[in-house]
Amino acid sequence: AQSVTQLGSHVSVSEGALVLLRCNYSSSVPPYLFWYVQYPNQGLQLLLKYTSAATLVKGINGFEAEFKKSETSFHLTKPSAHMSDAAEYFCAVSGYNDMRFGAGTRLTVKP
């Protein structure tokens, strides 16, 4: 069965600092991987997705993620954090016909 593990339930950074949110996956077949963001009292919004076309994936709002097969990782990064980035972030893996989510990482951005 496919699954993802997010390392760190809470990450705090200063405005302008690098954002790094960690995700490791487990899959017996080449995975499709996703990062979603959830703002308070809202649903999940797609940030980016990996479809095997390129290992470095660029998403919305300046976020990007790199697929590393050797490390079974798909970490999310942003060079410079903005206050508006404060939210919950979920890594997900897509199976044949379902999608499984990690437990989430809450990002706090300090002024």
Partner 1 sequence: EAGVAQSPRYKIIEKRQSVAFWCNPISGHATLYWYQQILGQGPKLLIQFQNNGVVDDSQLPKDRFSAERLKGVDSTLKIQPAKLEDSAVYLCASSPQFQLAVHGAGELFFGEGSRLTVL
- The residues of the shown chain that bind partner 1, judged by CB under 8 A, are 9, 32, 34, 36, 41-46, 49-51, 90, 92, 94-104
> Toward partner 1, which CB reaches closer, 62 or 95?
95
Contact criterion met (CB below 8 Å) for 44 and 92:
no
- What is the three-state SS of 22-91? EEEEECCCCCEEEEEEECCCCCEEEEEEECCCCCEEECHHHCEEEEECCCCEEEEEECCCCHHHCEEEEE
> Toward partner 1, which CB reaches closer, 17 or 22?
22
CB of 44 to partner 1, least distance (A): 4
> Toward partner 1, which CB reaches closer, 3 or 17?
3
CB of 107 to partner 1, least distance (A): 15
Q: What is the DSSP letter of 15?
A: T
CB atoms within 10 A of CB 107: 21
CB of 24 to partner 1, least distance (A): 14
> Toward partner 1, which CB reaches closer, 17 or 64?
64
